[in-house]
């Protein structure tokens, strides 16, 4: 009897525990039901869309370039001596022929005077040998002197003439050395900071030049571009030439981000492609009338490599890359999502040129593509580059 009574009590306790558990979980079960009900009433997923547009666009490329003078000249001493003066202001424009440095000239002036004396002496000696030759020749014809004496006189005169020429050459060299004590600008350009100081001993074998100067108007920009970009640029140049046009102009952006007001043009292409980097070196010339640009600076060189007629454009943010393929989510009829594979071309600013897969006016999803799937109904909202336009 007691065993039956114990089982009854255990059954009663079990029912009471089950009832308590049901009451405890009731709010959570009710909450889940309400959550599912709320989700069902949220409606279609909101996405930001924009229409694919079609227009003519330029394809622009930018590369990093380094500036250099159109002519760079190391100014060196051609004779040895002490530097007695610096005749230019460092960092300023000097003109061809302007005096830059002066080397002590006294020893070279003395060398010129000595060379002049040697020339005069050799000329006097040659005059004497010439008279002797005439006299010996006349006596030989009169059969008074021997042929040997006549020949000796002739040879002496020839040697004297050679000596005159040698001394005249020595005089010209002495005059050149004296002239080289005045170091002048070989070109017009910006003169750099001098390496030696006044009183220093300078000469042709010095490791450093006296200073370096550069012609900077026009100034040259060197840039390295990929072989692919070079081929595109070469095709553009040939196309313009065949239609009577000119090579595409180049623009540069300075270190502060500003656009340089003067356009340039390409002046040279290197003879070969660098096999290690796959790039080729180009040079472009830019007017620099105010000498603002200086060698050694870095710029961004921008060039329009070609024009695309009727390009189909969508924001780059609307294109999803899947390894080797690209996809775009399109909102079609009934606001249903369609995932399309597309063929992409060049990029233009923040846009991508779509060569296949999109038609003008079709709505592409710019934001929210990760939240949708093919066939899903969505709520499209307009998107602009400055930000989404929300419904008020």
Per-residue pLDDT, 130: 86
Tell me the CATH number for domain 77-103+183-208: 2.40.50.100
Q: How far is CA 22 from CA 10, 25, 179, in A?
A: 19, 5, 114
Q: How far is CA 320 from CA 225, 314, 326, 370, in A?
A: 28, 12, 6, 10
Domain boundaries, the chain: 46-57+309-388, 61-68+216-308, 77-103+183-208, 105-180
Per-residue pLDDT, 61: 86
Per-residue pLDDT, 142: 77
CB contact at 8 A, 362 and 329: no
Per-block average pLDDT, block size 10, for the chain (392 residues)? 45 48 47 46 83 90 94 96 96 95 96 94 90 82 80 88 93 96 95 95 95 95 91 74 65 94 90 92 93 94 87 92 90 91 88 92 90 90 66 34
Q: Rounded distance, CA 354 to CA 348, Å?
A: 11
Is the bond preceding residue 218 a cis peptide, omega within 30 degrees? yes
The set of residues, in sequence order, having a beta carbon less than 8 Å from that of 139 and lying 6+ positions away, is 145, 149, 150
Per-residue pLDDT, 248: 76
Per-residue pLDDT, 369: 83
Q: Rounded distance, CA 67 to CA 369, Å?
A: 45
Topology annotation, domain 46-57+309-388: 2.40.420
Tell me the CATH number for domain 105-180: 1.10.287
Per-residue pLDDT, 39: 44
Per-residue pLDDT, 157: 86
Per-residue pLDDT, 105: 95
The CATH class, in words, for 61-68+216-308 is: mainly beta
């Amino acid at each position: 009897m007691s065993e039956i009574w114990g089982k009854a009590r255990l059954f009663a306790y079990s029912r009471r525990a089950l009832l308590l558990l049901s009451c405890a979980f009731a709010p959570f079960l009710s909450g889940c039901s309400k959550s599912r009900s709320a989700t069902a009433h949220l409606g279609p997923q909101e996405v930001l869309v924009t229409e694919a547009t079609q227009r003519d666009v330029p394809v622009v490329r930018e590369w990093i370039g380094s500036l250099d003078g159109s002519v760079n000249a190391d100014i060196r001493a051609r004779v040895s001596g002490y530097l007695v003066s610096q005749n230019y202001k460092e960092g300023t424009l000097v003109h061809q022929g302007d005096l830059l440095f002066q080397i002590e000239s006294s020893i070279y002036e003395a060398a010129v005077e000595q060379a002049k004396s040697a020339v005069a002496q050799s000329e006097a000696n040659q005059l004497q040998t010439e008279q002797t030759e005439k006299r010996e020749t006349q006596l030989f014809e009169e059969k008074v002197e021997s042929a040997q004496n006549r020949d000796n006189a002739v040879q002496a005169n020839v040697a004297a003439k050679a000596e005159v020429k040698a001394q005249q050459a020595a005089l010209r060299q002495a005059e050149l050395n004296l002239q080289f004590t005045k170091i002048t600008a070989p070109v017009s350009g910006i003169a750099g900071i001098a390496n030696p100081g006044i009183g220093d001993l300078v000469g042709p074998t010095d490791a450093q030049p006296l200073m370096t100067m550069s012609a900077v108007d026009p100034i040259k920009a060197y840039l390295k571009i990929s072989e692919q970009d070079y081929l595109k640029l070469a095709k553009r140049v040939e196309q313009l030439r065949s239609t009577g046009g000119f090579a595409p102009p180049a623009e540069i952006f300075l270190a502060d981000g500003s656009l340089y007001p003067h356009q340039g043009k390409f002046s040279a292409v290197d003879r070969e492609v660098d096999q290690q980097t796959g790039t080729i070196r180009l040079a472009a010339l830019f007017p620099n009338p105010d000498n603002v640009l200086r060698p050694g600076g870095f710029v961004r060189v921008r060039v329009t490599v070609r024009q695309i007629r009727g390009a189909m454009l969508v924001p780059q943010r609307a294109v999803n890359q899947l390894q080797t393929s690209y996809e775009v989510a399109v909102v079609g009829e009934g606001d249903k999502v369609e995932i399309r594979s597309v063929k992409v071309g060049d990029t233009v600013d923040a846009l991508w040129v779509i060569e296949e897969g999109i038609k003008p006016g079709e709505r592409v999803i710019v934001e929210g593509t990760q939240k949708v799937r093919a066939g899903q109904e969505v709520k499209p909202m307009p998107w602009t580059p400055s930000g989404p336009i929300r419904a008020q």
